[in-house]
Amino acid sequence: MLLHIHGSSTYLADSMHLLPPNAPTIPAALWRIQQGAACVFFESDLDKPPGIPPSAFLPPETPLSSLVSAQTFGATAALWQRFGIQVPLETLKPWFAGLLLANSLSGTIGFNHQAGVDRQIWQVTAPEKRRLLEGTEALGAFDAAPPGEQSAYLDTIARTPEIITARFTRLYQHWQTSNVVGFEQELVWAKEQFPIMFTGLIDGRNRSWLPTIVDRAKQVAPALVLVGALHLVGESGIPALLTDRGFLVGAA
């Protein structure tokens, strides 16, 4: 998806954070907009090592195995060993254990962050032109979910990993074909399964980014806003929020 905020020189583009190395070339139109932009907005600093945030750890007296079912913990431990993850499993909250597993599972089908759209654009954008929409707020959306939802998130990833790898594949296919309906369906599924988590992860961050995007759209210098594809679809997507503010957003 490549969108234009009419009456401005600001463009919105969808990013896939993980792609296979042999993914199709990024559209030429996106490269042209990036090259002509005075600034490019990314979700966060892609040069900063992700690390493990303090919020990902459980208190010493509360191991992970005490928070999830024996079946979930057993499946998680098996994958932990399979992928050789070095972080002690018992020390992590369910949501972060789930994230680590999802990242490892993406690698089994050839996906990685280095091939992502945002990473490719970041590497060719001069540092002085890069702008950030946030710091680590995305992780806060996971941590804010209630314990039961966090446990369900880990359970889905650990006990039915094929669901997660199939989801990565579908998202990739939607990106290849600019399938807005497909992305909307994926977002609906995520919110149905993990309502607090994904409402915060998508809708909440969209609202927090909106003032920055609106301010940019009022400026003359051209700009590109590059965010995950799920942020550009649905009733709470960035285009819909801009429309509510009186802007007209359409295909570039």
Residue of 105, 96, 120 whose CA lies nearest to 40:
120
Q: Rounded to whole angstroms, how far apart are CA atoms 82 and 100?
A: 13
Taking the CA atoms of 77, 110, 175 and 3 in sequence, report the sign of the dihedral they define: positive
- State pLDDT tens for residues 168-181: 999 999 998 999 99
Q: Average pLDDT for residues 92-97, to the nearest whole number?
A: 98
First-to-last alpha carbon distance for the chain, in angstroms, is: 9
- Residue 73: what are its φ and ψ, rounded to 5°? -65, -40
Which position has the token pair 């369900």? 152
- Return the half-sphere exposure (C-beta side, CA atoms, 13 A cut-off) of residue 82: 14
- State pLDDT tens for residues 113-157: 888 999 999 999 999 999 999 987 788 899 999 999 999 999 999
